Amino acid sequence: MKVLSLADVPREPATLPGCLTATVGFLAGATGAQDLSVDLMSIAAGGFVPSHPGRRDQTCTVVSGSGWASGADGVWIPIGPGDTLVWPVGEDRGWRSDVGLTMLSIRAHGLLSQPES
């Protein structure tokens, strides 16, 4: 078993056009597992990730800090620790924060599919 400290996860600037002081730290993923990606997303105080259509289903759980998130309707809602956000593929999504925000993000095709019973 390997233990990762979130503080030690290497991070890179988010590459989406229009991002302001946002970083992504890769935790795990696989191209053979429905393009699975598990990332640590951070937005610094005053940071912003503009609304954009997602290429995969995505969930984000707020780990620390607070901010706002938007979905298909473009309405910004407040988010904080413990909140989990869910977007299907193609739905617009965006984030912003005045004080800083860190989220655990899971993205994959078919992530939101219901298991067969």
Handedness of CA 82, 74, 41, 111 (dihedral sign): positive
- The verdict on domain 40-109 having CATH code 2.60.120.260 is no
Alpha carbon distance 89, 1 (integer Å) = 32
24 token code pair: 């992504």
Q: What's the mean pLDDT in 17-38?
A: 75
| pLDDT at 31 (0 to 100) | 54
> Model confidence over 41-65: pLDDT tens digits?
999 999 999 999 998 899 999 999 9
Residues facing residue 18 across a β-bridge: none
57 burial level (CB within 10 Å; 0-12, 13-18, 19+): buried
| pLDDT at 20 (0 to 100) | 81
The residue ranges of every structural domain in the chain are: 40-109
| pLDDT at 30 (0 to 100) | 57
| pLDDT at 21 (0 to 100) | 85
SS (H, E, C) 86-117: EECCCCEEEEECCCCEEEEEEEECCCCCCCCC
> Model confidence over 62-79: pLDDT tens digits?
999 999 999 999 999 999
74: alpha, beta or left? (left if phi > 0; alpha if psi -120 to 50): left
| pLDDT at 117 (0 to 100) | 58
Alpha carbon distance 1, 56 (integer Å) = 29
pLDDT at 114 over 80: no
Q: Find out whether 54 and 107 touch, Cβ atoms under 8 Å.
A: yes
Could you tell me the pLDDT band of residue 33, with boundaries at 50, 70 and 90? low
> Model confidence over 86-108: pLDDT tens digits?
999 999 999 999 999 999 999 88
